């Protein structure tokens, strides 16, 4: 799961609650500092690239001195990213691999949206708060100058961009502590069963769903699913599209996102079976009563996958 939010939104509060509930927190800011700590290959590489005047008197990284050099040109910035990004990625992978088999891993990534990482997460949780609320918190609780706070916020993704990436939007505009119950409910009702279903390769329980009025969020929800599927399928999918009743604007429908994956020439559905299950879309066995419950008519040779996330019903239909 990816967790993010703008400065002052309250992401750290949500991360703390999730950790208290048992989540394995992988904090990208902590990792970014860890990989360039004194004595690391990361710090040595930065010194070799930018000079030893980026070091403080105690041998640690002088971040303002590094920034003055690394952000002076696109070439210098690329050099910085070429050194730090692989190290952060490797350490992140190590921490995730070390998590318990039944662990719920939460990746705390401040720039998740800015860096286009949402399609690589099984679920994206955004902590949301109005800009004026965030500015006030930054000034009152972090001692940041108001003009500086507004400049930092302006340099990040917009609220609209974050909301477009959000599978879960946690409203943290209220008083301190009001968000707590919402986070506990997210843990109990979505994250725990999602982890169990993902680990056991089990589709989420699918209660009988009524026909509802068209939801203007259906297209955005479908786009998020398609982005994840595109990463998992790569060139093995010739096309991935939103189909079915929820793809028709303004039409009442059962609240299920239907996605069709058209396989590339010579690719069988079996080639994608494990990759789709790994990102939360396990296969539904032929003859499973769930197929009838899902209301899907499969043509000869087509395969069906369903999502493991109990919070968003999705059907995947794979075929030539």
Annotated binding site for ATP: 8-13
Question: What does the H/E/C string look like for the chain?
Answer: CEEEECCCCCHHHHHHHHHHHCCEEEEHHHHHHHCCCCCCHHHHHHHHHHCHHHECCCCCECHHHHHHHHCCCHHHHHHHHHHHHHHHHHHHHHHHHHCCCCCCEEEECCCCCCCCCHHHCCCEEEEECCHHHHHHHHHHHHCCCHHHHHHHHHCCCCHHHHHHHCCEEEECCCCCCCCHHHHHHHHHHHHHHHHHHHHHCCCCCCCCCCEECCCCCHHHHHHHHHHHHHHHHHHHEEEEEEECHHHCCCCCEECCEEEEEEECCCCCCHHHHHHHHHCCCCECCCCCHHHHHHCCCCCCCCEEEECCCCCCCEEEEEEC
Indicate the annotated binding residues: 8-13
């Amino acid at each position: 799961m990816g967790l993010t939010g703008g400065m002052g939104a309250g992401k750290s509060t949500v991360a703390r609650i999730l950790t208290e509930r048992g989540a394995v927190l992988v904090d990208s800011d902590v990792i970014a500092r860890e990989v360039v700590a004194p004595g690391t290959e990361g710090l040595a590489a930065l010194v070799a690239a930018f000079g030893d005047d980026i070091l403080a008197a105690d041998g640690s990284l002088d971040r303002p001195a590094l920034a003055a050099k690394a952000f002076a040109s696109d070439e210098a910035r690329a050099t910085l990213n070429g050194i730090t990004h692989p190290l952060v990625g490797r350490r992140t992978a190590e921490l995730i691999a070390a998590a318990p088999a039944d662990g719920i891993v939460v990746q705390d990534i401040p720039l998740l949206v800015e860096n286009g990482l949402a399609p690589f997460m099984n679920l994206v949780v955004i902590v949301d708060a109005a800009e004026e609320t965030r500015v006030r918190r930054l000034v009152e609780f972090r001692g940041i100058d108001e003009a500086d706070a507004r400049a930092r916020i302006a340099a990040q993704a917009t609220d609209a961009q974050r909301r477009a990436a959000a599978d879960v939007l946690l409203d943290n505009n209220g008083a301190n502590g009001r968000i707590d119950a919402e986070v506990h409910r997210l843990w109990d009702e979505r994250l725990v069963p999602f982890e169990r279903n993902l680990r056991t390769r089990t589709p989420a329980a699918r209660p009988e769903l009524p026909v509802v009025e068209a939801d203007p969020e259906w297209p955005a929800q479908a786009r998020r699913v398609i982005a994840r599927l595109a990463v998992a399928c790569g060139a093995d999918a010739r096309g991935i599209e939103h189909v079915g009743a929820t793809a028709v604007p303004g039409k009442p429908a059962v609240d299920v996102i239907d996605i069709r994956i058209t396989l590339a020439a010579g690719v069988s559905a079996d080639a994608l079976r494990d990759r789709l299950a790994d990102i939360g879309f396990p296969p539904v066995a032929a003859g499973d009563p769930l197929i009838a419950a899902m209301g899907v008519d499969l043509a000869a040779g087509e395969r069906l996958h369903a999502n493991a996330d109990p919070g968003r019903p999705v059907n995947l239909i794979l075929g030539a």
